[in-house]
């Protein structure tokens, strides 16, 4: 991990406790952006931090997540969900509402 990135990823956005370096894991290199996963030992929440560098300037964006660092690395190689995928899924749910409800209820009692 680059030392200047540690200065940008300092603390948990939810409980404000300072991260230890071991809690911050490098996940992927997107060229001018690096992706990290941070797990807070105090509140157990996780965050994905994207650190971007451009012309000597660095900035970061943090997103609270329920993904593990392994999930972030694994999903980095997957294709994105498209708008058409979302519409197809919505149509499937709408067209099979009774079947989905029955499956969910069966799963609860099993
Ligand atoms: Zn926390």
Distance 13 CA to ligand 1 centre (A): 7
Instruction: Give, as residue ranges, everything with CB less than 5 Å from ion ligand 1.
Output: 12, 14-15, 40, 42-43
Going residue by residue through the chain, which has 110 residues, state the pLDDT in tens, using 9 for 90 and above. Answer: 776 777 789 899 999 999 999 999 999 998 889 999 999 999 999 999 999 988 888 899 999 999 999 999 988 888 888 999 999 989 888 888 888 888 889 886 55
Is the overall model pTM greater than 0.95, yes or no?
no
Distance 12 CA to ligand 1 centre (A): 5
Render the burial of 61-94: b for 16+ CB within 10 Å, e for the rest: ebeeeebebeebbeeeeeeeeeeeeeeeeeeeee
């Amino acid at each position: 991990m680059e030392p200047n990135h540690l200065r940008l990823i300092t603390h948990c956005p939810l409980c404000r406790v300072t991260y230890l370096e071991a809690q911050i894991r490098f996940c992927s290199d997107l060229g001018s952006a690096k992706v990290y996963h941070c797990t807070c030992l105090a509140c157990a929440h996780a965050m994905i931090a994207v650190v971007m560098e451009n012309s000597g300037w660095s900035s970061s964006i943090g997103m609270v997540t329920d993904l593990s660092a392994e999930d972030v690395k694994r999903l980095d190689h997957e294709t994105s969900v498209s708008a058409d995928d979302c519409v197809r899924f919505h149509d499937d749910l709408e067209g099979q509402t009774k079947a989905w409800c029955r499956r969910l209820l069966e799963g609860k009692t099993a």
